[in-house]
Amino acid sequence: MKIEKKDNNVEKLRNALLLLVRAGLWGQMSEDASALCLSDVEWNGVYRLSRQHTVTALAFHGLSLLPEDKFPPQALLIKWAAESDAVERRNIKMNGVIEQLYNIYREKGLSPVLQKGQGVATCYESPLQRECGDIDLYFSNRIAWHIALSSLRKRHIKFARQADKSICFKWQGFDIEYHRHLFDLYNPFLQSVVDKHEIDKGYRYVMLSAESSVCITVPSPFLDVLLQNLHILKHTISRGIGLRQMCDMARTCYKLHGEIDAEEMRTVCKKLGLERWTSLLHAFMVDYLGLPVEYLPYKDKAPTAVPLANIVWRGGNFGQHDPSIATDANVFRRKLDTLQSFMRNMRFASYYAPKETFWYFIQLLKGQF
C-alpha cells in the first residue's frame, strides 16, 4: 500500500505540472483545474519538478491563469515568481550576447545558423518564458569554420574540442558550441538525404525580440522540425530528455505548421527509418502537451505515448535528474553513464529507431560521446 500511495502521489504531481505547462504553452487554462487542489507539500513538489524539466517560467505563466483560490502558498508563489523573472532576465541577456556574436561574425562575412535555443523561443507566445540553455551555432562550410576558429584564437578565447568534433567555449557567462553538422544523424549512409534537404530548404531569418535590429539565421521550418526530431531522439536513446525539448517541438509545429509539406516530411522520416519514432513523438505532443492533431507535421500518431513518457519522467532535462546517472564532471564517468543509459534504453531504441540506434551504438564504441 505504501508503494502504491507514493506512485499515485508522483502521478498527481506530474499531472499538475502538465496542466500548468499546457496552459503556459497555449496561453489559456481550458481544463478543469481540480487537479490543482494540492497541499503545500505537493505544490512544492510540482515546483521542484518544473525546475527539473526547465519549464519553471512556462509553468508559472500557466499558474498565473488560475483563479486565486487555486494558487500555491504565498511563500512559494513569491519564490516561483522570482525564479520566472530570473529566467526572463537571463533570456534578455542571452539575446544580447547572440546579437553581439552575429555582429562580429558578419564583419567577417559569416552567417552561422542558430540551432534550437533562442531561435525556437521565437515560436512561443512569450519567448522570454522559455528557459535558455547554451548557444549552438552551425557553420555550413569548412572555410567559415576555420575563420570562426581563427577568430577565437585571435581573441585568446580558450576552447575545447568535443569527441564529436564540435567546439565549446564560454563567452560572457554563456556556454557556446560550434558545430560542423546541422543534424544529429549518425547513419552515414543516410547523410545525403538530410544534406539534400538542407540545400533545397535553406535557412530563414528571425528577430529575437521586438526591440532587436539584428537578423539571426535559423533553419527553415522544414529543417527546424526535422532537426528537433533527431535531436530529441538522440537524447531519448542516450541519457534522457525532458519536457522543455518536447515543448519546443510542440510550439514549433504549431507556429510553423502552414510552412511544412506533410507528405514530404512523412517521406523523409520513412527514408531515415523514423516512422515509429515520429509517430510516438507526435503522440506525446498531442496527448501530454495538448498540441491539436491538425498541427502535427503529418497525421501519423501512435496509440499511446507512454513508452516515451516513461523516459521523460525518469530523468528530467537531458537525464540530469536520473538517480542512476552521476552528476560529477569526470569525463570517463559521463561516457560510462551514457553507455549504461543507452543499454537500458536499447529495447526502446531498437524498436522505434533501429537504423539510428545501430549507428549511435557504433559511435559509442568509438568513444564519440
Mean pLDDT of the chain: 90
Q: What is the pLDDT of residue 361?
A: 84
- Taking only the tens place, the pLDDT of each residue in 271-313 is 999 999 999 999 999 999 999 999 999 999 999 999 999 999 9
Domain residue ranges in the chain: 1-72, 93-219, 221-369
| In the predicted structure, residue 330 carries a pLDDT above the cut 80 | no
Q: What is the pLDDT of residue 6?
A: 47
- Taking only the tens place, the pLDDT of each residue in 25-62 is 999 988 888 778 899 999 999 999 999 999 999 999 99
Task: Fold for 93-219, please state it.
Answer: Beta Polymerase; domain 2 (3.30.460)
Question: By percentage, how much of the chain surpasses pLDDT 70?
Answer: 91
- Taking only the tens place, the pLDDT of each residue in 86-105 is 999 999 999 999 999 999 99
Q: Are 188 and 356 in contact (CB under 8 A)?
A: no
| In the predicted structure, residue 360 carries a pLDDT above the cut 90 | no
Q: Are 118 and 91 in contact (CB under 8 A)?
A: yes
Q: What is the pLDDT of residue 321?
A: 47
| In the predicted structure, residue 365 carries a pLDDT above the cut 50 | yes
Q: What is the pLDDT of residue 3?
A: 33
User: How would residue 162 be classed by pLDDT, with cut points 50, 70 and 90?
Assistant: confident
